[in-house]
Amino acid sequence: MNVSEVFTRFSSQESCIQYLEGLRWQNEPECPYCKSKQSSQRKDTQRHQCNNCNSSYSVLVGTIFEDTKLPLFKWFLAISLMLNAKKGLSALQLGRDIGVNRKTAWYLQMRIRKAMQGGDDNELFKGIVEIDETYIGGAQRNHSRQKRQERRESGLNFTGMQHKQAVIGLLERAGRIKLEVLEKAHGKTIKPIIGQTVSKEASLVTDGFGGYSGLGKTYKEHQVLNKEKEEYVRGEYHTNTLEGFWTLLKRGIYGQYHKVSIRHLQSYLNEFTFKYNHRANKSNFDLLLNRSLMPTVL
Ligand SMILES: [Zn+2]
């Protein structure tokens, strides 16, 4: 849903609440405390009174919108703007766009990213899966020659973070990605993530980094490209899709989020992951609203 549709459909708080009630309860309110569906609407409010446990509740209880003082319309706008910003959206810019201060905009973004993180399908990656690690932020001197070269070529110069942070990426050619911040990139940290994400029937493609060694014993196939000797492609096996994604990710992070701290890096990765995995989904707005309503999200 684009911004102009949000304006048309959600001009009032009431219309937002109604929409959320439709998504969460299919318009049949359920008490979040005792799960009873027997309730009565409280006069002139968007709250319901449970006939069983006598609590009063709204559709926002237990969601990322709970206790918000902002009109839901602004949340909906923020969600739409974030989903449509391919390279990311700074809190400063979002604040300008929806008329709140930067701190409020940042808080909104953090909550929305929380919703982006939850509930992804648990189906394991199949087919060809590209795996690669990269480094975000920090001084360059500890980077491999190849990574320094990549960075020079992409024209990136990022100083917001004092330490570089390793990130592992797994990309299923069929269209899904998984990104995770690593304490340190080595086999012990990488292999459990591959184990949770990738089917044993998959064909893995990596470079010769030692952290990947031995994967051929567990998975159907492990193609190791010898990048040191400039072997970047072997037939259909390469990691170019993932490397293209790294470029986009870094442009987004370095361009929009000047001060990404390591503490929040995973949250930014969740945003890029959600957008990538649902880029072809026309109802990604509804999907994200649904996630926002999931009581487990906070
Ligand atoms: Zn109840």
Is residue 250 scored above 70 in pLDDT?
A: yes
Residue 143 contacts residue 151 (beta carbons within 8 Å): yes
The CATH number for 128-260, chosen from 2.30.30, 1.10.1060, 3.30.300, 3.30.420, is 3.30.420
What pLDDT is stored for residue 42 in this prediction? 79
> Which stretch of DSSP H or E encloses residue 134?
strand 128-136
Reported as a single tens digit per residue, the pLDDT across 130-181 is 999 999 886 444 456 666 555 544 434 344 455 788 999 999 998 899 999 9
What pLDDT is stored for residue 117 in this prediction? 86
What pLDDT is stored for residue 155 in this prediction? 39
Is residue 73 scored above 50 in pLDDT?
A: yes
State what percent of residues in the chain have pLDDT above 90: 67
48 Cα to the center of ligand 1, angstroms: 10
Residues with CB under 5 A from ligand 1 (ion): 31, 33-34, 36, 50, 52-53, 55
Residue 24 contacts residue 83 (beta carbons within 8 Å): no
- Residue span(s) of the chain under CATH 3.30.420 come to 128-260
Tell me the C-alpha distance between 9 and 219, whole Å.
49
User: The tokens of 274 are what?
Assistant: 């959600």
41 Cα to the center of ligand 1, angstroms: 13
Average pLDDT over residues 4-21: 93
Reported as a single tens digit per residue, the pLDDT across 85-117 is 988 899 999 999 999 999 999 999 999 999 998
Average pLDDT over residues 118-125: 78
